[in-house]
Amino acid sequence: MIENRAPIDRAILVGAPTKDVSQRVSEEHLEELARLTHTAGGEVASTLRQRIDRPTPRFYIGEGKAQELKSLLEASEANLVIFDEELSPAQGKNLEDLLGVRVLDRPELILDIFATRARSREAKLQVELAQLEYLLPRLRRMWSHLSRIRGGIGLRGPGETQLETDRRLIGIRISDLKVKLGDVAKARAVQRQARAGEFRAALVGYTNAGKSSLLKALSGADLFVEDRLFATLDSATRMVDLGSRHQALVTDTVGFIRKLPHHLIASFRSTLEEAREADLLLQVIDASDPDWEEHREVVYEVLEELELTHRPQLLVFNKTDLLTQGEEEGLRNRVRTPDQVPAVFLSAHQPDSLYKLRDALKARLRAGLCRLRISLPAGDGESMAALYREGEVLEQKSNGARVEVEVRIPQSLKGRLEQKPGVEILAES
């Protein structure tokens, strides 16, 4: 039996940076665009570059370069063009009219990848909302080629199910999705409330920095891990043992990337609320990537858009197993500056190195605890169990009818104990 497979899209990548962008950075952006193309299931047939003063209203690139692109399409037998920059609806339509093939920009490509990677109901709702909001002003262009071509990069997810709808119906669907995601956000808020009192940390960072691998290594949980961009979209929360009877809830969040579509950030807000509620943000950085500083800046910009830059942070330089000793020492020296947030260096694939992160989490957890000397009735087993379960018992003395305990406990437990008859707080430090 012959298996029918969809033809692989052959794409020409177009980089058109402004002249204030360095040659090295522009090349790195195109290399990343190639990786995104491969992640979406396509192959790169060729690339085209042009440095511009500013985008032209008609084609983004110059008219002569657009004609060169048309000739390159014919010579390479490509059926897709992907721009590294975001195109306006008019620019996209003009290019498609000239070239006779589909034209995508980086945001549209990222949205398409998210559409193929969404697994949970929440992720599917989030991606569909982002795609529809992105496509709404581009309907005229999208419909002109969707009526002729089915399937392929940029046409998956809701794009191919909305062919016969108009702006009004899409608007209704967008409103419906926002209501459903609002319900999801409320459910998440209830879950977070149930975890009140627990120390929580959130993993944030550039895509493919190793966040899922790190959470898997810390928790021992069976999590999906793959060496690809945006391998996972669904957030996962796992309990991590820190030692000394301390635990932390650590959440993995969706990875960030350069020029992440704003619609996508907005639609994933409910997922990223986990980061907003965290006691500590763990910004995971690929230590082996020469562009880690730019990646960190991208993450900072997204956190700033989400109003999360005020949260306490810890830099986690992952994948140090891919560095030589000299390279790791050089990296440590580069990040050791007075205004730098604390940093740890480790590898998710080297279990012995994870103690550094566990110790840093434990130190942050302890910093948020209050140290008390408490007196309680000897028969109050419920309070004593809570002290051992939620805090750290440093010393315990019994004098018959009462027990005196020195502990480190969270403020939430202190508040509950203060309300209990027979419990006395003798000292606080």
Question: What's the pLDDT tens digit per position in 367-405?
Answer: 888 889 999 998 888 988 888 888 888 899 988 889 999
User: Within 10 A of 183 (CB to CB), how many other CB atoms are there?
Assistant: 12
Mean pLDDT of 255-281: 77
Residues near 197 by Cβ (< 8 Å), separated by ≥ 6? 390, 410, 412, 413
186 lies in a domain? no
Is residue 7's pLDDT more than 80? no
The answer to whether the CB of 201 falls within 8 A of the CB of 279 is yes
**What's the mean pLDDT when you consider all of the chain?**
83
Choose from 159-163, 187-191, 358-362 the range with maximum mean pLDDT. 358-362
Spatial distance between the Cα atoms of 11 and 34, rounded to a whole number of angstroms = 9
Same domain, 154 and 216: no
pLDDT (0 to 100) of residue 356: 93
Same domain, 296 and 392: no
The answer to whether the CB of 60 falls within 8 A of the CB of 98 is no
Mean pLDDT of 198-227: 83
The answer to whether the CB of 201 falls within 8 A of the CB of 278 is yes
Stronger pLDDT, 337 or 269, i.e. the higher one: 269
| Residue where a domain stops, chosen among 110, 145, 162 | 110
Same domain, 359 and 401: no
Choose from 145-154, 172-181, 331-340 the range with maximum mean pLDDT. 172-181
The answer to whether the CB of 409 falls within 8 A of the CB of 384 is no
Q: Is the dihedral of CA 414, 418, 424, 429 positive or negative?
A: positive
The answer to whether the CB of 78 falls within 8 A of the CB of 100 is no
Same domain, 213 and 354: yes
pLDDT (0 to 100) of residue 139: 66
Q: What sections of 153-249 are H helices per DSSP?
A: 167-194, 211-219
pLDDT (0 to 100) of residue 147: 44
Element (H, E) at 139: helix 139-146
Same domain, 220 and 245: yes
Which phi and psi angles does 199 have, rounded to 5°?
-80, 125
- CATH number, domain of 349, equals 3.40.50.300
The first and second tokens of residue 243, run together, are 């030692």
351 lies in a domain? yes
Mean pLDDT of 200-221: 89
The answer to whether the CB of 49 falls within 8 A of the CB of 16 is yes
Q: pLDDT band at residue 270, thresholds of 50, 70 and 90? A: low
Same domain, 144 and 201: no
Mean pLDDT of 95-104: 93
Which phi and psi angles does 8 have, rounded to 5°?
-75, 130
The percent of residues above 70 in pLDDT, for the chain, comes to 85
| Residue where a domain stops, chosen among 66, 85, 110 | 110
The first and second tokens of residue 171, run together, are 């608007």
Among the listed residues 95, 61, 69, 82, the one whose alpha carbon sits nearest the alpha carbon of residue 10:
82
81 beta partners? 12, 103
Write out the DSSP string of 9-72. Answer: PEEEEEE--BTTS-HHHHHHHHHHHHHHHHHTT-EEEEEEE--BSS-BTTTBS-HHHHHHHHHH
210 lies in a domain? yes
Q: pLDDT band at residue 149, thresholds of 50, 70 and 90? A: very low
Mean pLDDT of 210-219: 90
Residue 224 has, within 13 A of its CA and on its CB side, a CA count of 10
pLDDT (0 to 100) of residue 31: 92
Is residue 306's pLDDT more than 70? yes
pLDDT (0 to 100) of residue 12: 96
Mean pLDDT of 302-328: 90
Same domain, 124 and 75: no
Which phi and psi angles does 363 have, rounded to 5°?
-65, -40
Stronger pLDDT, 170 or 81, i.e. the higher one: 81
User: Within 10 A of 247 (CB to CB), how many other CB atoms are there?
Assistant: 17
Spatial distance between the Cα atoms of 314 and 327, rounded to a whole number of angstroms = 21
The first and second tokens of residue 369, run together, are 């605890």
Same domain, 318 and 411: no
424 lies in a domain? yes
98 lies in a domain? yes
Same domain, 301 and 233: yes
The percent of residues above 90 in pLDDT, for the chain, comes to 35
Is residue 131's pLDDT more than 90? no
Structural domain count of the chain: 4
Among the listed residues 344, 356, 206, 197, the one whose alpha carbon sits nearest the alpha carbon of residue 277:
197
Same domain, 296 and 382: no
Is residue 322's pLDDT more than 90? yes
CA distances from 81 to 33, 159, 262 (A): 12, 18, 22
Three-class SS state of 148:
coil
Is residue 314's pLDDT more than 50? yes
236 lies in a domain? yes
Domain range enclosing 207: 196-366
Residue 34 φ/ψ region, left for φ over 0, alpha for ψ in the -120 to 50 degree band, beta for the rest:
alpha
Is residue 30's pLDDT more than 80? yes
pLDDT (0 to 100) of residue 42: 92
Mean pLDDT of 2-11: 67
The model's pTM is: 0.78
pLDDT digit string, tens, across residues 171-193: 888 899 989 988 887 887 777 66
pLDDT (0 to 100) of residue 288: 94
Same domain, 174 and 319: no
| Residue where a domain stops, chosen among 321, 351, 366 | 366
Element (H, E) at 249: strand 246-252
Average the pLDDT over each of 41-55, 66-80, 108-122, 277-291 and give the range with the smallest value: 108-122
5 lies in a domain? no
Same domain, 210 and 344: yes
